[in-house]
């Protein structure tokens, strides 16, 4: 039975060694680190996890390890980044035996953009061919789905249970939340604006900030849920300054660096992505320290 998806669902990073191979022991330790921070779910294979670089076998191994480590404690989301309907279906079927609560699937993202009807049929065919419900990962800049298009898909395709809305346009997020069909979900991946996303009614987030600072993001979520907007605003302000230090073309590498500073095993990015530069590290460290001051001590203790 599908469990409720809500709150802070970090997209795991994938630890690679110097040869570009996955460090499974570090990966499993990372899952345990996130659970210790009180997250409400785990996502595997997303952009922050460098999912676009993973083979089908690697993806299956990571999903299996995550399912074993979470052991039903929190919902599990499988991130699929694929350039064809067939490939997305194959990856979903590779892990359909695991206790996965949803698939997070991008529109196709190579050079040739399908029209709206082809995109509609892509998700219709997908959902009819797989067992797990689908969340559309609306992140591809040159194949970005409009609120009207997403609402039509959510309304007409039962297997699509929601959307993960990325990019920085809060108006698009607000429009989605305004007209989202009953029972469907609009997760925020607008990292700079998680606080207003939650305040507007987003049921949660699957994004890079939760992967970099999961404990603080849980504190932000809890503050909004209890109506403590002064606390939420303070977290937002510090988190925005932190976000501005990690955002960039090597974002997963910067997320890994921030996690490493917190004692979480992270490994290296997979080539050709470069590690965080000396300049990036110098900016990340003070912003992270300032932000982590707002992480509840109980969460810190649980992760140590």
Q: Please give the Cα distance from 38 to 284 (Å, whole number).
A: 23
Count helices and strands (H / E) in the chain: 13, 8
Tell me the pLDDT tens digit for each residue of 100-150: 999 999 999 999 999 999 999 999 999 999 999 999 999 999 999 999 999
Structural domains of the chain, with CATH = 7-303 (3.20.20.70)
pLDDT at 299 exceeding the cut of 60: no
> What share of the chain has pLDDT > 90, as a percent?
94
Tell me the pLDDT tens digit for each residue of 34-87: 999 999 999 999 999 999 999 999 999 999 999 999 999 999 999 999 999 999
pTM of the shown model: 0.96
pLDDT at 291 exceeding the cut of 80: yes
Per-residue pLDDT band for 1 (boundaries 50, 70, 90) equals low
3-state secondary structure 104-140: EECCCCCCCCCCHHHHHHHHHHHHHHCCCCEEEEECC
Q: Please give the Cα distance from 266 to 62 (Å, whole number).
A: 14
Please report the pLDDT score of residue 292 as a whole number. Answer: 98
Q: Please give the Cα distance from 156 to 153 (Å, whole number).
A: 5
């Amino acid at each position: 039975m599908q469990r409720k998806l809500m709150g802070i669902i970090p997209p795991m990073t994938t630890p690679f060694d110097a040869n570009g191979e996955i460090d499974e022991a570090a990966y499993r330790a990372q899952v345990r680190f996130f659970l210790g921070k009180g997250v409400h779910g785990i996502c595997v294979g997303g952009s922050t996890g460098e999912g676009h670089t993973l083979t089908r076998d690697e993806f299956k191994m990571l999903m299996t390890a995550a399912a074993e480590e979470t052991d039903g404690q929190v919902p599990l989301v499988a991130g699929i980044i694929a350039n064809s309907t067939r490939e997305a279906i194959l990856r979903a079927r590779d892990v359909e035996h695991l206790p996965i609560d949803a698939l997070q699937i991008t529109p196709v993202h190579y050079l040739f953009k399908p029209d709206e009807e082809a995109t509609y049929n892509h998700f219709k065919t997908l959902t009819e061919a797989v067992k797990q419900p689908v969340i559309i990962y609306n992140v591809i800049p040159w194949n970005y789905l409009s609120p009207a298009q997403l609402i039509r898909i959510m309304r007409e395709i039962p297997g699509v249970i929601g959307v993960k809305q990325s990019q920085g346009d809060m108006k698009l997020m607000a429009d989605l939340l305004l007209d989202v069909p009953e029972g469907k979900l609009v997760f925020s991946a607008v990292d700079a604006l998680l606080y207003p996303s939650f305040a507007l009614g987003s049921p949660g987030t699957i994004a890079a900030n939760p992967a970099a600072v999961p404990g603080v993001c849980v504190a932000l979520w809890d503050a909004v849920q209890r109506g403590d907007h002064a606390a939420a605003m303070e977290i937002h302000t510090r988190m925005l300054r932190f976000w501005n230090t990690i955002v960039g073309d090597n974002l997963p590498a910067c997320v890994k660096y921030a996690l490493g500073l917190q004692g979480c095993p992270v490994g290296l990015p997979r080539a050709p992505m470069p590690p965080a530069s000396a300049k990036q590290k110098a900016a990340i460290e003070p912003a992270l320290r300032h932000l982590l001051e707002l992480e509840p001590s109980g969460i810190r203790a649980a992760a140590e």
